[in-house]
Amino acid sequence: MTLGPVMLDIAGLTLSPVDRERLQHPLVGGVILFSRNYESPEQIEALVREIHGLRQSPLLVAVDHEGGRVQRFREGFTSLPPVRHLGQIHEENPKRARRLAEASGWLMAIELRAVGVDFSFAPVLDVDYGVSQVIGNRAFHSDPETVADIAHYYMVGMHHAGMAATGKHFPGHGHVTADSHVALPIDERPLADILAEDIIPFERMIHYGLEGIMPAHVVFTRVDPQPAGFSPIWLKKILRAQLGFQGVIFSDDLSMEGAKQAGDVVARAKAALNAGCDMILVCNDSTAADKVLAGVGHYDEPASHLRLVRMRGKQNRDRVQLAQDPAYHDAVRAVSALV
């Protein structure tokens, strides 16, 4: 069975019979974990192992684990600082910031890989204009070139740990005040301004080998009346054709308020897939998840499956091996000092 285009969540610390049945649906290709799914490293490792064992072609397992405000697993994992700290260091000492960015990306990734998680939705490539509270210190910096520079080394660290990187939120969420979790943000800038600023980190990271991108639930009115994640202009014309991106396009959560302009959840799912997404996320709404699985219909996109397979984690080291690795302890000390 190939990987389907839908990524779902689960309710608790273990898989229920309903979870198992739902995750074996042919349209499902992945699971995203949240804080409610985490109790300890031992528990999450067992849960991930069970998820991977459900299907002959193992489902992808992902998590939002950026650091700072967005770190789903806490106790038993290193407390990661907001990546803005790296941007502040970059202003005084770019070389040190790059070293710490690589260590941070490696540490984040290696701890997740040690419990079997395939990838984290990171790094954030948004440019911070000082107006978006939902982005804020999740962004590396306010200068696009600096964002790209630090993110590059962060991704290098992720790759060394065997984890693919996913940049978000294309083409940029940092210039709007509204939070797309609870509202539909509107960005009225012309395309030329966006290309000259917000797109730069994505363009650079694509060149460096970025494997995944997540578009924003933001409407850029001078480009398309649809949010970027439902826009063939943004995803097919600009991201694929103009920027040459060949990796996975993940929708942001279709249950978010910023996605609802595209219609009911089945209409949103179809619109995101038709716009160019390879995998769509439906989170925190099991009824919506079931509607999507029942309503999307037959889906067969071999190119998407090949892209998704590349998101699987590599070079897995268990937690015992990691605890005995001096490089791991060095990274923990270096990154912990930033918190």
Relative to beta strand 65-67, strand 70-71 is: antiparallel
Annotation marks residue 143 as catalytic: no
25/14 Cα distance (integer angstroms): 18
Closest CA relative to residue 97, chosen from 145, 135, 143, 153 = 153
Q: Which of 9, 149, 187, 252 is catalytic?
A: 252
Q: Which of 181, 193, 285, 290 is catalytic?
A: 181
Q: Is 53 exposed, middle or buried (0-12, 13-18, 19+ CB in 10 A)?
A: exposed
Closest CA relative to residue 30, chosen from 312, 327, 235, 233 = 312
**DSSP letter assigned to residue 241:** I
Residue bearing tokens 């660290």: 157
Residue bearing tokens 């000259």: 196
Mention every residue, 6+ apart, whose C-beta is less than 8 A from residue 105.
122, 123, 153, 154, 155, 156, 157, 158, 161, 165
Burial of 161-194, coded b for 16+ CB within 10 Å and e otherwise, reads: bbbbbbbbbbbbbbbbebbbeeebbebebebeeb
Task: Give first-to-last CA distance, the chain, whole Å.
Answer: 43
303/189 Cα distance (integer angstroms): 33
Sheet with 6-8, side-by-side order of all strands: 119-120, 60-63, 28-33, 6-8, 279-282, 248-253, 212-215, 166-170
Annotation marks residue 85 as catalytic: no
3-state secondary structure of 47: helix
- Which residues face 67 on adjacent strands? 70
Catalytic residues: 181, 252
